[in-house]
């Protein structure tokens, strides 16, 4: 987790031209939560809190899920089954200045997992070769703004997107076959990272 925090805080270097966005959501939505039904201060009913503390909060008049306490906040959607060989994940994330700086998506298979950290820098953790890609500098600063984060898993490959930009491609998961996902990051009661509009689709 410490290495992810450091990497997310690194300043932006000059960026090459980005490939076009080719994200296509999965055909069948298996999980969706906008947190509107959640009670302020509570863990939303569709989620399991694994470590740290995350709770429904409010930002700009909207219900959100805030990562509030703990160095490693981690929470998982109640899916009711595995996601299969191909799936997509989408969510909106707001990282305030002084916060962890983004969100981690964990690809899970039983007790094994791989990490994808989305922030100013998108990077992997737990793969045979650690990879990274920068949020495009021409898109502006990353903190204190809403961002749409997405990933697709298909044919043993992962593509990572931020605000419709294809930021990172993981060409080979080296035989790792994720069947579920969870989410996390660093908690901060004063400047928590918040998320909303989580959607997971298979196919």
CATH number, domain 2-6+26-202, options 2.60.120.200, 2.115.10.20, 1.10.260.40, 2.160.10.10: 2.60.120.200
* pLDDT attached to residue 139: 66
Phi, psi for residue 127 in degrees, rounded to 5 = -85, 165
CA distance 73 to 151: 20
pLDDT value at position 100? 92
Dist. CA 92–CA 185, nearest whole Å: 14
What pLDDT was estimated at residue 140? 74
Residue 13's pLDDT is 39
pLDDT for 19:
56
Q: Structure pTM?
A: 0.88
Which residues of the chain carry a pLDDT beneath 50?
2-16
How many H-runs (helices) and E-runs (strands) does the chain carry?
1, 13
Residue extents of the structural domains in the chain: 2-6+26-202
């Amino acid at each position: 987790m410490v290495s992810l925090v450091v990497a997310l805080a690194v300043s932006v270097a000059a960026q090459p031209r980005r490939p076009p966005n080719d994200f296509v959501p999965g055909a069948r939505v298996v999980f969706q939560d906008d947190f509107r039904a959640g009670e302020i201060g509570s863990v939303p009913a569709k989620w399991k809190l694994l470590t740290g503390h995350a709770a429904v909060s409010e930002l700009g008049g909207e219900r959100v899920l805030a990562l509030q306490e703990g160095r490693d906040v981690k929470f998982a959607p109640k899916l009711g089954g595995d996601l299969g060989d191909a799936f997509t994940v989408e969510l909106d994330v707001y990282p305030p200045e002084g916060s962890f700086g983004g969100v981690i998506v964990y690809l899970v298979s039983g007790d094994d997992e791989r990490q994808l950290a989305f922030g100013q820098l998108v990077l992997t953790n737990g793969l045979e070769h650690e990879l990274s890609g920068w949020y495009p500098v021409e898109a502006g600063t990353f903190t204190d703004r809403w961002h749409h984060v997405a990933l697709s898993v298909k044919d043993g490959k992962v593509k990572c997107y931020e605000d419709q930009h294809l930021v990172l491609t993981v060409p080979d998961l080296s035989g790792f076959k994720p069947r579920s996902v969870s989410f996390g990051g660093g908690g901060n009661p004063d400047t928590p990272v918040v998320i909303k509009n989580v959607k997971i689709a298979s196919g």
